Structure 1
Amino acid sequence: MLTIPTNPDHSTQTPHSGYHWDGSSRRFFEGWYYRVTLPAEGETFAFMYSIEDPIGGKPHSGGAAQILGPNDEYLCRTFPDVSKFWASRDVLSLGHWGKTNLHIQPLYLPPPEFEHHVQEGYQATATLNQGSIHDPATGCYCRWQYEIHPIYGWGDKRSIQQSTAGWLSFLQIFEPGWQILMAHGLASGWIDWNGKRYEFTNAPAYSEKNWGGAFPQKWFWMNCNSFEGEDDLALTAGGGRRGVLWWMESVAMIGIHHQGKFYEFVPWNSQVHWDIQPWGRWQMKARNLQYEVEVTGTTNLPGTPLRAPTAKGLIFCCRDTMQGELNIELRELGIGKRKIILKARTFLCGLEIGGGPWDNSWQSR
C-alpha cells in the first residue's frame, strides 16, 4: 500500500485540509485551487480541480480540471467517471484519473509512476501538484509537475492554523465553506504549456479550497503573493453572498501574511467595507482596534470566463485575470496617529468576480 505524503511541516496544515464528502447523496461539491506565479515571465498558472455529486449517477456527477495559463488563456478537461476520483479525509491529498493503463482503484502514485501510467489526470498534495490534460477539439494541452514548500498556512507562523471562515465553519451552517490552505509557499518544477516549457525554482505558490451543498449567489476575490520589493508578503481578500441556515448574508474578509505575522480582518473582529465594480475595479477597506488596511485592485484586461460548480452543475459563471494591478497599504493605529507599516504594489494579482447579478457596483452596507 502506497502512503500519501503529508505536509512535512504540520504547523502549516490548516483545518479543512481533508476531503469533506460524507458519502451521502445530497447535492455536494468540493473544489481546490493551486496557483504558481512566475515573476520573471510576468505570468501565472492557476489549476482548478473540482468534484460534484461524487456518489455518482446524478445529473451533475463528475469532475474537472481547469487551467488559467499565460496571458489568461484557458484550458479545461472534464472527468465524468467519479469512481476514478480519490481524496484523503485527513490531509490535503487528491487526484482524478482520466486516460490510464492501470486497472486498479485510483490512489496516490510516486510522480514517476504517475507520469508513466496516467496519460490524463492529476494528483495534488500539500507538497506536490502534477498532471496532464489535453483538449482534443483544439489540440491544446498542459503537463505539469512541481514540488511545493509551504511557508504560511492561514495564521501566525509556528502557531495553530486557523479556519478561514471561523469556528462556525466546522458546523454545516455556512455553505459553501472556504479555506485558504497555503497563503504562501515556494514551488519548484516545470509546466509544459502547448510546447512551451516553463522551469522554475522557488516561485510563489498558493492554494485554497471550497466545499458544500449550497453555492454562493455572488462573490469577488483578490489574491497575490508576488509583490515588487516584497518577497515575504501574501494577500487574500474576498467576499460573497452565501447561505446561513435559512437566510442569505453578505460577508467579506482581508488576510495578510507579512514577515511572519498574520493580519486578519474578518466580520467578527473588524469593520470590512467594499466597493466592487462589475469588472475593472475592486476596492476594500477594513479596520479593527489595532490596524486598518486599504486594498485596491484594477485591470484594463477583459478577463477570462471560468467554470464553477453551481446548483446547475459546472458552468461559466465567473471572470478572472491573473494580471491585475493591486495596491495595498496597512497602517497601525495609535492614539491620534496612524503609522504605515506596509505599502506595496504588484501587477500580478489574481482578480475575480462571480455569480450575479453584476448590473452595477456592489457596495457593502
Structure 2
Amino acid sequence: MPQNPHYGYHWDGISRRFFEGWYYRVTLPQLQQTFAFMYSLEDPLGGQYSGGSAQILGANDEYLWRTFPDPKLFWADRDRLALGHWRKRDLDTPPQELDPEEFTENIQEGYQATDVLNQGFIRDPATKFYCRWQYTIQPIYGWGNANSPQQSTAGWLSRFPIFEPGWQILMAHGLATGWIDWNEQRYYFTDAPAYSEKNWGNSFPQKWFWLNCNVFAGENDLALTAGGGRRKVMWWMESVGLIGIHYQGKFYEFVPWNASIKWQIEPWGKWQMQAQNSEYEVELIGSTDRRGIPLRAPTESGLIFCCQDTMRGDLKLELRKRGGEVILQANSSVCGLEIGGKPWDESWMH
C-alpha cells in the first residue's frame, strides 16, 4: 500500500501548546468484540498539561487508562508512522523503536506502534487491571483508491496549519495477527480487521461525531469512516463532515469540496448521514441502545473526559449511483460510534 500523507510526527519542535493522537483498532468478528488503542502526547516542551497517555476501549466496552507523565520518554519518527512511549524500563538508552522481543524484555510499561506493529503493556496500579498486546498489521486500504497515491483526509490544504485539528485516516482497512491479553483473558487472532487514524494540532474540535466500521455481514472487502465536527479555521469556526468508503478496490469519497453532506445526530443513540456527489449518493444510519463509555481527549484544559463511544453499534449503509441503481447495501453490529465536545443537549442537524 502506498504511504499515506501525514504518516510522520507533526510537532515542529518549537510550539509549546500542541497535541498529537493516534488510534489503532482491531475487531474480532466471531466474538463480536473490539479493542481500540488510543495514544496521545501533549505539550512536548513541558507545561501544565505536558505528558502522554494510553487508553484502551476493550472487550464488552470496558476501559483502561494509564498516564505517561514524562514527555522525554516519548519518541516518534517525522518521516514514517512510528511512535512509542515508555513509563518503566530496564534500559538506559534514549526512547526508540525496539525489536518486539527486546521491547518485551526491557520495557516494563509502555507501548510502541508503527504501520505494521502495535505492542505494549499498561496496568492500573489501583485496580491491578492490565492489558498486554502484540500484533502485526498487513495494510490493505489507506485513504484512496487501491494502488494509487493516497489522499489527505482533509484535502491538500491540510499540509498547512490552517485547520485545527488535522485529521488523517492512516489505514481504512487492514488485517491484524497476534494476541491481546485483557486482564488474564487472552485473545488470539489471525487476519482480524484492523484500522488506524490520527489527529494533531493546537486545538480539538468544539464538537464532533464519528462512525467507523470495517466488519460487515457478508462483505469482507468494505470499510467505512464518516464524521463531522465544528473546527477552527484561522479565526473562525466551521461545520464540516465527510464520508469515505473503500469497496472492492475503489474509493468513494464524499467531502465538502465535491459533495453535499447532511447529518442528523442525536445527543446519543442515533447517527444519520446522507451525501451525494456528481456520481454517487450514500445513506448511513448508526444506532445503539448501549450507554456508551466516556473517553478522554486533549482539550485546552488537558486530557479530560469529553467524548462517548461504543464499539458495539449497529450500522446500515446504502451506496447508490445517482439516479437510483444500488451498488451496495450492508449491515454491521460492531460499528464504532462516537460523539464528543459540546453542547449535546439537543439533536445536531446540518
TM-score by length of 2: 0.99
Give the SS at the match of 2:72: helix
Q: Is the 8 A contact 2:16 2:44 kept in 1?
A: no
1:355 aligned partner: 341
Q: Deviations over 1:313-341 (max 9, x none)?
A: 000000000000000000012xxx31000
Provide the rounded CA distance (Å) in 1 between the counterparts of 2:13 and 2:66: 25
> Which amino acid letter does the alignment assign opposite residue 64 of structure 1?
S
For the pair 1:200 / 2:193, whether they are aligned, the reply is no
Distance in 1 (CA, whole Å) between partners of 2:209 and 2:198 is 15
Whichever residue aligns with residue 210 of structure 2, its letter is W
Other structure's SS at 1:27 match: coil
Contact 1:153 1:181 in 2 (8 A): yes
Report whether the alignment pairs 1:22 with 2:17: no
Among 183, 190, 201, which residue is 2:172 paired with?
183
Unaligned runs of 5+ in 1: 1-8
2:60 to 63, 71, 76: 71
For residue 104 of structure 2, the aligned residue among 115, 126, 129 is 115
Contact 1:26–1:213 (CA<8 Å) still a contact in 2?
Answer: no
Which 4+ runs in 1 deviate beyond 3 A?
none
CA distance in 2, matches of 1:141, 1:359: 35
Structure 2 residue identity aligned to 1:348 = V
Tell me what 1:33 maps to: 23
Q: Deviations over 1:292-311 (max 9, x none)?
A: 00001000000000000001
Q: 2:331 is matched with which residue: 332, 345, 348?
A: 345
Matches for 1:1-365 after TM superposition, within 5 Å: 9=1, 11=2, 13-56=3-46, 58-333=47-322, 337-364=323-350
TM-score (norm 1): 0.95
Name the CA distance, whole Å, in 2 between partners of 1:309 and 1:116: 31
C-alpha deviations, 1:148-182, integer Å up to 9, x for none? 00000000000000000001101110010000000
C-alpha displacement at 1:26, in angstroms?
Answer: 3.0
CA positional deviation for 1:70: 0.6
CA deviations on 1:89-132 (whole Å, 9 max, x unpaired) are 00000000011111110000000000010010000000000000
CA distance in 2, matches of 1:332, 1:150: 28
Q: Deviations over 1:251-298 (max 9, x none)?
A: 000000000000000000000000000000000000011000000100
**How much has 1:214 moved relative to structure 2?**
1.6
Tell me by how many angstroms 1:25 deviates: 3.3
The amino acid across from 1:196 in the alignment is Q
Count of residue pairs the alignment pairs up? 350
Unmatched 5+ stretches in structure 2: none
Counterparts of 2:30 and 2:129 in 1: how far apart (Å)?
24
Deviations 1:222-266 (CA, angstroms, capped at 9, x unpaired): 000000000000000000000000000000000000000000000
Q: CA separation in 2, counterparts of 1:63 and 1:214?
A: 16
Instruction: Indicate the SS of the match to 1:105.
Output: coil
Partner Cα distance (1:24, 1:135) in 2: 33
